[in-house]
Amino acid sequence: MTVIVLAQCPVGLRGFLTRWLLEISPGVFIGGPSARIREALWAEVRQYAGNGRALLAYNTDNEQGFTFDTYDHKWDPTDREGVILIHRPNDRASATSATNRGWSKAAKRRRFGNA
């Protein structure tokens, strides 16, 4: 099983993928091509994605039963002792530190345990 997810990619790339895979939702393609065809499709996606993002997931013989690859995506796959996890950048820390939080009476009660 192969799944390709596209975001903000050219329409022509979606049309190309429908030759080999079934588009079950806008930008989500699923099918069962051979490994050679899957690699050729992924090479085309990387070449023609432009400013878009793409994700490829497929079955393999490992602990999880699948693996995936990303193209121009903020979330990076990271191998941790044979298990592939997603590393997401922490954008919230900078956003929450810029705002003044905890000025309400309820926030002060929660902070000091007087809820």
Q: What is the pLDDT of residue 72?
A: 86
What φ, ψ does residue 73 adopt, rounded to 5°?
-115, 145
In tens, the pLDDT along 14-51 reads 999 999 999 999 999 999 999 999 999 999 999 999 89
Q: What is the pLDDT of residue 111?
A: 73
| Per-position DSSP letters for 10-28, written without gaps between them | -HHHHHHHTTTSEEEETTE
Higher-confidence residue: 36 or 86?
36
Tell me the one-letter amino acid at 32.
G
